[in-house]
Amino acid sequence: MTLHLIQRSPFSNSALKDCLNIIDSQDSILLMEDGVYGLQHSLMQQTKLTAYALQEDMTARGLTSKNSIKEIDYCEFVNLCSQHQHVISWY
Amino acid sequence: MTLHLIQRSPFSNSALKDCLNIIDSQDSILLMEDGVYGLQHSLMQQTKLTAYALQEDMTARGLTSKNSIKEIDYCEFVNLCSQHQHVISWY
Amino acid sequence: MTHKILIIARSAPYGSSLAREGLDYVLTSAAYDQDICLLFLGDGIFQLLKGQQPKQINLKSQIGAMEILPLYDIEDLFVVEEDLIERNIDTKDLGMKVVSIKRAEVSQLINSQHKVLSF
Amino acid sequence: MTHKILIIARSAPYGSSLAREGLDYVLTSAAYDQDICLLFLGDGIFQLLKGQQPKQINLKSQIGAMEILPLYDIEDLFVVEEDLIERNIDTKDLGMKVVSIKRAEVSQLINSQHKVLSF
Amino acid sequence: MKFSLLILASPYSQQGGLSALKFAQACLNQGHQIYRVFFYHEAVQTASFLQTPQQDESNLHQLWCELAEQHKIDLVTCIAAALKRGVLDKSEAKRYEKDGFNLQKPFELSGLGQLLDAQINSDQLITFA
Amino acid sequence: MKFSLLILASPYSQQGGLSALKFAQACLNQGHQIYRVFFYHEAVQTASFLQTPQQDESNLHQLWCELAEQHKIDLVTCIAAALKRGVLDKSEAKRYEKDGFNLQKPFELSGLGQLLDAQINSDQLITFA
């Protein structure tokens, strides 16, 4: 089980797409930094994966929660990292 | 008439796509730095635009010329810049 | 002589400092009495989103700094309709008054300028 | 104890130094007797292209530096079939012996490792 | 748990350094341990004490120094990545006959072996790019 | 023709600085004039004389200094972008009470007005990012 950290906007960078290409259905995704713009992207609106978005980064950018993507804070971010076997950053 | 400098790989960055979205049929494109990986991309294989690629950057990366895309050196790069009204970098 | 200068803003704010550094150039150029217009292209659109609160991540507000633009007589803020649709954004989500154009009209805008620079 | 470490190489060479700095980490880890395997994902594939001549642009060869990998017993170089097709590259265009896997097999590779790091 | 952080992001051009600080703080608040923070690629600039941000901007160098002193965190900068980017301590400056230096404790210069050690000896290594 | 260059690329993490040098050389070889080279964003690091690349790597700082001296080229570094990134000259170091500096002639610190001036007074301003 892997937690994938998406750190770039999916509209200008392939990080999210590259990750989704190889992700396992048991894995989770966390959108952070410019990665939270993924909330506006069709790739995330369709996904059946467990997906999170970092609240601080959303609020900073004026984005609001969408669909089934859970908003979490840094405390929960740390917890998620401790609960997964691997944590991989995509940038 | 604008010369568009594409400085990033189209497989990982939206520079080329964003440029092609708004380009005029009179404009030209120059692939340079990681932008020369555009030679391998379907977007460039279809294009009817006047397109160039910087020879030094191709040779460095082991890429060879494709289709109707003209290889040029830095001297011709400078000439192209002087022949266009605007030069816009995409990165 | 006053030059017509177009600045193309292509960067989302906060992840990179380019959005902010591009804006700093816009403000400088305006202070020197140039005729500036701004085109928000692609992810640049995100600079205009309402309700940005970057204090949360210890950065300064991009939209906040843009509120000064009308004072410099910079009132031509262009956005591209297709970029908005692609990003699921409505013009009412934007915190500045903008002019929405089509992708096909961008090259006309570029050609009408003396100088163009993109950040 | 020897750890199974997977390094995911996602950067094209030369435009960014990440490809080179990732490889430096691979060589360091191998020198400390770890069990390293390398997965070239997306644009990372371009690191393996034959015939690179970066002297032209005043940079050091990525593929040249990789020729040392077998001496460190790093022989598991994985590439992804779909990435090759997307980039119009054939395995015979590559300068190193690689194992081609499918995208669907990547998560299995990741799960079989003690540690994973991507550059 | 034992966490280590790998920071690649440039301190004033990208957000990664700020995110890493928040992450480190959250780890410590929850009683986790930070085994090491390793600065590589562009992030080596974080180690320079010459950085002079405006008063209303975060001073990343200062913030790491404070966190490190408060919680005894190891701040390691990759020596090869740092030297070429103009980040060096007094002894490297002397060795290469440079007129000045910009790195000192609690930051230190060391090799990539320290990153490998962090990866092996931590439960998680989290990358901020 | 009169060219100016705007460099945004980080000197040892991206290729833009090397490309800009080749472009400048090609301009001069063809009898064009380089009105100014402006270093902004990450490229401000190019101005630091502390950079110590390996012997088989290009020293971008040195190469710009040589080109500038040979052809009397104006090398301007954005002062706001430079200060926060830890690039400063002797007088700024004194003003901000920093123990050292890393920028000197032929590089100089100045404001964004110099970029505007370059854009207006050159036939082309080419960006290397």
Place of tokens 């710009």: F64
Q: F87: which 2 tokens? A: 């690039």
Give me the residue from D15, D57, D60 closest to F14, CB to CB. Answer: D15
- Structural domain count, chain A: 1
Query: If 0-12 CB within 10 Å is exposed, 13-18 middle and 19+ buried, where does residue C102 land?
Result: exposed
Whether F9 contacts chain C with CB within 8 A: no
Q: What is the pLDDT of residue A46?
A: 79
What is the layout of strands, in order, in the sheet containing D35-40? D99-101, D77-80, D35-40, D4-9, D115-118
Instruction: Indicate yes or no: CB of D110 within 8 angstroms of CB of A90.
Output: no
Per-residue pLDDT at B45: 85
3-state secondary structure chain C: CCCEEEEEECCCCCCECHHHHHHHHHHHHHHCCCEEEEEECHHHHHHHECCCCHHHHCCCCHHHHHCCHHHHCCCCEEEEHHHHHHCCCCHHHECCCCEEECHHHHHHHHHCCCEEEEC
Distances (CA, A) of E124 to D79, D113, F1: 26, 13, 56
8-state DSSP, F48: -
Q: Is D21 part of the contact surface with chain E (CB cutoff 8 Å)?
A: yes
Residues E19, F1: Cα–Cα separation, whole Å: 46
Q: For chain E, which chains pass the contact test of at least 3 CB pairs under 8 Å?
A: A, C, D, F
- Strand order of the sheet with strand A86-90? A70-72, A50-54, A28-31, A2-6, A86-90
ipTM of the complex: 0.97
Q: Please list, in sequence order, all residues whose beta carbon lies within 8 angstroms of the beta carbon of residue F81, skipping any fewer than 6 positions away.
A: C21, F39, F40, F41, F44
The string of pLDDT tens digits covering residues B5-56 is 999 999 999 999 999 999 999 999 999 999 999 999 999 987 889 999 999 9
CATH number, position C33 = 3.40.1260.10
> Which H/E stretch holds residue A3?
strand A2-6
Interface of C with F in 79-98 (CB under 8 A): none
Residue C75: band (very low, low, confident or very high) from pLDDT cuts 50, 70, 90:
confident
pLDDT digits (tens, 9 = 90+) for F36-66: 999 999 999 999 999 999 999 999 999 999 9
**How far is D65 from D49, CA to CA, in rounded Å?**
13
Share of chain E above pLDDT 70, in %: 100
Q: Are E41 and E14 in contact (CB under 8 A)?
A: no
B43-52, B72-81, E89-98: segment of lowest average pLDDT: B43-52
Inter-chain touch E58–C60, beta carbons under 8 Å: no
Q: How confident is the model at residue B65 (pLDDT cuts 50, 70, 90)?
A: confident
Q: What are chain F's domains?
A: 2-128 (3.40.1260.10)
Give pLDDT, residue C1.
Answer: 79
Predicted confidence at residue F113, as pLDDT, reads: 97
Give me the domain span that covers residue D38.
4-118
pLDDT of residue B88: 98
- The residue among A7, A14, A22 with the most chain D CBs within 10 A of its CB, best to mutate, is A22
CATH number assigned to the domain comprising residue B49: 3.40.1260.10
Per-residue model confidence as pLDDT tens digits over A6-61? 999 999 999 999 999 999 999 999 999 999 999 999 999 878 899 999 999 999 99
Answer yes or no: is pLDDT of B67 > 80. no
For the cut 90, the answer to whether the pLDDT of residue D37 exceeds it is yes
Residue among B18, B24, B90 whose CB faces C107 most closely: B24
Cβ of E57 and C60 within 8 Å? Answer: yes
* The pLDDT value given to residue C8: 98
Shortest distance, CA B77 to any CA of chain F (angstroms): 8
Number of domains forming the structure of chain D: 1
The dihedral region occupied by E31, where left means phi > 0, alpha psi between -120 and 50, and beta the remainder, is: left
* Ranges assigned E (strand) in chain F: 2-7, 33-39, 75-78, 107-110, 124-128
Model pLDDT, residue B13: 98
**Residues 35-64 of chain A whose Cβ lies under 8 A from any Cβ of chain D:** none
Contact residues, chain F, for C118 at CB < 8 Å:
127
Contact D25 E112 (CB under 8 A): yes
> What pLDDT sits at residue D75?
87
Work out the percent of chain F whose per-residue pLDDT is above 70: 100
- Name the residue range of residue B57's domain: 2-90
- The 10s digit of each residue's pLDDT in F61-82 is 999 999 999 999 999 999 999 9
Contacts of A14 in chain B (CB under 8 A): 11-13
Q: What's the confidence (pLDDT) of residue E20?
A: 98
- From chain E residues 86-115, the ones with a CB under 8 A of any chain D CB are 111-113, 115
